[in-house]
């Protein structure tokens, strides 16, 4: 296990380190797969909110998948802290892994090292200070994300008034509340491209949204939990 506060290295180094630690999945692509699946699932859950009448069965299944990933990641202790210099590469991990994820298993093994392309210049700017993966202490960072996820589920159940549309509750789930929240999010957001870029793309197919900047996703989570 890595000591807390250890900077995350580039994927090549991480892979070597992984190989040396017992109990962790050998191929880094598994971790990327899992993370990408998590991102995709979170996006799907949020898309649920946009639907007129979300399909409860689908939402429950996706939420269960998210919980499952979260549990496994907690057990693995793979809540890694992303160092600032590596932060710029994190979104690319997502980009790559989404493609890998949807390829067949055989191809993935062939990929082996899962090479990362260089950061694209067109990448949306990061927001390190607001991201749980950012410069904060490792403990806060890891706990923060965990807390965010739990909070998503809580907010989904309409515990706080005016929060994002609940997922499972049969109490008044007004579509207009969702609009208000989104608008509020846009208005209240600190300067940055995060949400305004996100909201229109929410209607886009999940695959393209998965490819959106990690920062946008985390930023959205931040806003959802009203930190």
* Beta carbons within 8 Å of 191's beta carbon, 6+ residues apart: none
The window from 18-26, 101-109, 129-137, 138-146 that contacts other proteins (CB under 8 A) reads: 101-109
Residue of 175, 224, 173, 174 lying closest to 195 (CA atoms): 224
CB atoms within 10 A of CB 90: 21
To the nearest whole angstrom, how small is the minimum distance from the Cβ of residue 94 to other proteins?
14
In the DSSP assignment, the letter for residue 174 is: -
Q: Is 112 left (phi over 0), alpha (psi -120 to 50) or beta?
A: left
Two structure tokens written together for 49: 């909110």
180 in contact with other proteins (CB under 8 A):
no
Looking at 6, 26, 102, 135, which residue binds other proteins (CB under 8 A)? 102
Asked if residue 142 lies in contact with residue 130, where contact means CB atoms within 8 angstroms, the answer is: no
Residues 60-89, one symbol each (x = binds other proteins by CB under 8 A, - = not), give xx-xxx--xx--------------------
176 in contact with other proteins (CB under 8 A):
yes
To the nearest whole angstrom, how small is the minimum distance from the Cβ of residue 32 to other proteins?
12
Buried-exposed string 152-180: b where 16+ CB fall within 10 A, e elsewhere: bbebbebeeeebbbbbeeeeebeeebeee
109 in contact with other proteins (CB under 8 A):
no
The window from 8-16, 82-90, 140-148, 174-182 that contacts other proteins (CB under 8 A) reads: 174-182
To the nearest whole angstrom, how small is the minimum distance from the Cβ of residue 53 to other proteins?
5
- CB-nearer residue toward other proteins: 105 or 110: 105
Looking at 154, 186, 199, 204, which residue binds other proteins (CB under 8 A)? 154
Asked if residue 118 lies in contact with residue 45, where contact means CB atoms within 8 angstroms, the answer is: no
To the nearest whole angstrom, how small is the minimum distance from the Cβ of residue 145 to other proteins?
18
Tell me which residue has tokens 């040396």. Answer: 20
CA distance 217 to 165: 17
To the nearest whole angstrom, how small is the minimum distance from the Cβ of residue 33 to other proteins?
8
Can you tell me whether residue 135 is helix, strand or coil?
A: coil
Q: Is 65 left (phi over 0), alpha (psi -120 to 50) or beta?
A: alpha
To the nearest whole angstrom, how small is the minimum distance from the Cβ of residue 180 to other proteins?
12
Residues at the contact surface with other proteins, assessed by CB under 8 A = 34, 37, 40, 52-53, 55-58, 60-61, 63-65, 68-69, 101-102, 104-105, 153-154, 157, 166, 168-170, 172-176, 205-207, 210
């Amino acid at each position: 296990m890595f000591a807390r506060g250890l900077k995350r290295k580039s994927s090549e180094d991480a892979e070597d380190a992984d190989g040396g630690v017992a109990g962790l999945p050998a191929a880094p692509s598994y971790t990327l797969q899992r993370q990408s699946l998590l991102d995709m699932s979170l996006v799907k859950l949020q898309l649920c909110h946009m639907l007129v009448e979300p399909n409860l069965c689908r939402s429950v299944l996706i939420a269960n998948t998210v919980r499952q990933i979260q549990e496994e990641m907690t057990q693995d202790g793979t809540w890694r802290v992303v160092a600032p210099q590596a932060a710029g590469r994190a979104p690319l991990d997502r980009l790559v892994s989404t493609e890998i994820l949807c390829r067949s298993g055989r191809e993935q093994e062939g990929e082996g090292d899962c090479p990362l392309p260089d950061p694209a210049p067109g990448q949306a700017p990061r927001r390190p200070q607001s991201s749980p993966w950012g410069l904060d202490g490792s403990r806060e960072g890891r706990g923060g994300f965990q807390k965010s996820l739990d909070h998503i589920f809580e907010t989904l159940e309409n515990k706080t008034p005016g929060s994002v549309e609940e997922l499972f509750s049969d109490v008044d789930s007004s579509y207009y509340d969702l609009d208000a929240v989104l608008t509020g999010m846009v208005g209240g957001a600190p300067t940055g491209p995060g949400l305004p870029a996100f909201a229109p793309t929410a209607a886009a197919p999940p695959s393209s949204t998965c490819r959106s900047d990690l920062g946008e996703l985390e930023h959205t989570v931040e806003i959802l939990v009203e930190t």
